[in-house]
Amino acid sequence: MKNFNINTKNEEEWLTPLNIIKGLGEFDLDPCAPEKYHRPWNTAKKHYSKSDNGLIQKWEGRVWLNPPYGKKTFDWLKKLAQHGNGIALIFARTETIGFFKEIWGKADAIFFFKGRLKFFKVTGIQGNSANAPSCLVAYGNNNVKALKEFKMDGKFIKL
């Protein structure tokens, strides 16, 4: 499978809108955070950046995952599924091999956003609409509850 999450400028680092983070509650870890000096807001109590290689670090607690957009997206989803406690924000490319393997077969719930999100650059400036629809994927009952109670336009589906 190729280019699951490539955006139009082929950049890997796009930040989650703050209202999404606040709407889902507090997270213990973000293993895919930008470097501290490039992070206009925190997404969790603890952050791993690219230089920390969050994919090989130990994950603890409730995880927020907005993985790098590219070929390794589903490596991150696989680790989140194994961890069993977190929410991921990814493009809703439901037909892909990785979506079937790491989400349809392992996740507990999905929230599909109505319309397309506008992500932020590491400078804190909002970008244009994403080139694909997005969804939130929950692993663990506490995260199913968070998605069910999430106050944005979209559709919640328990798997």
Tens of pLDDT, residue by residue over 111-130, are 999 988 877 777 777 777 77
How far is residue 89 from each of residues 27, 37, 123, measured CA to CA in Å? 14, 22, 20
3-state secondary structure of 154: strand
- How many CB atoms are located within 10 Å of the residue 60 CB? 11
Q: Is the pLDDT of residue 12 over 60?
A: no
Q: Is the pLDDT of residue 1 over 60?
A: no
Quickly list DSSP for 59-107.
P-SSEEE---SSTTHHHHHHHHHHH--EEEEEE--TTSHHHIIIIITT-
Q: Is the pLDDT of residue 2 over 60?
A: no
The C-alpha angle 124, 129, 134, rounded to 5 degrees, equals: 100
Q: Is the pLDDT of residue 7 over 50?
A: no
Q: What is the pTM of this model?
A: 0.88
Give dist(CA 99, CA 74) in Å, integer.
Answer: 8
- How many CB atoms are located within 10 Å of the residue 17 CB? 16
Contacts for 95-103: CB closer than 8 Å, 24+ residues apart: 96/1, 96/4, 97/1, 98/1, 98/4, 98/73, 98/74, 101/74, 102/74, 102/77, 102/78, 103/77, 103/137
Q: What is the pLDDT of residue 79?
A: 97
Q: What is the pLDDT of residue 118?
A: 75
Among residues 114, 100, 119, the alpha carbon closest in space to that of 152 is found at 114
Residue pair 36/47 in contact (Cβ under 8 Å)? The answer is: yes
| Higher per-residue confidence, 112 vs 6 | 112
Structural domain boundaries of the chain?
A: 18-158
Give dist(CA 4, CA 70) in Å, integer.
Answer: 6
pLDDT per residue as tens digits for the range 30-89 = 999 887 767 778 899 999 988 899 999 999 999 999 998 778 899 999 999 999 999 999
